[in-house]
Amino acid sequence: MTPAVLRLMLRPTLSKVKLGPEDVISIDFANRLREWTITRHLNAVWTHIPNEVAGGTKNAGLRYSIAKALGMISGAADYVFLWAGGSAAIEMKSETGKQSANQTDFQKWCEVMSVPYYVARSADEAEKILRTLGILK
């Protein structure tokens, strides 16, 4: 593992932050992804798409506008995976969470482009998806 990749895998600290159910599931999954990346069990590049950055600070509206101008797609899946010869998208939802209209539109776009798209309701379910795709040992 290169030092650059190890730097990318540092876990952020969260303090005094109230997390929703999808945040908890997604952070659990991201921590697993970091571990699998460091141990080379995950044979893919991955990232989280931060569509939720629009709130919270006085500069949020400006940052959101810039992100949209740069190409951020509202409704993009939470996680995107890239590997030699393939890609996939995973949207994380709580047990009762429903996709927004933008999210279902993004899912349809993935399907038209033959990009596998999944909705996972737990980190365990997302892990099973990665194993089924053959990118997680």
Q: What is the pTM of this model?
A: 0.87
- Separation between Cα atoms, residue 118 and residue 107, nearest integer Å: 8
Domain ranges within the chain, ordered by starting residue:
3-8+19-133
CB atoms within 10 A of CB 91: 26
pLDDT in tens, 18-69: 888 999 999 999 999 999 999 999 999 999 988 776 555 667 778 778 888 8
What sign does the CA torsion over 47, 48, 53, 56 have?
A: negative
Q: Quick one: pLDDT at residue 57? A: 67
User: How big is the CA angle at 115 (ends 55 and 50), to the nearest 5 degrees?
Assistant: 15
Q: What percent of the chain has pLDDT over 90?
A: 66
pLDDT, average across residues 100-119:
97
Q: Does domain 3-8+19-133 have CATH number 2.60.40.10?
A: no
| Tokens 């995107």 sit on residue | 80
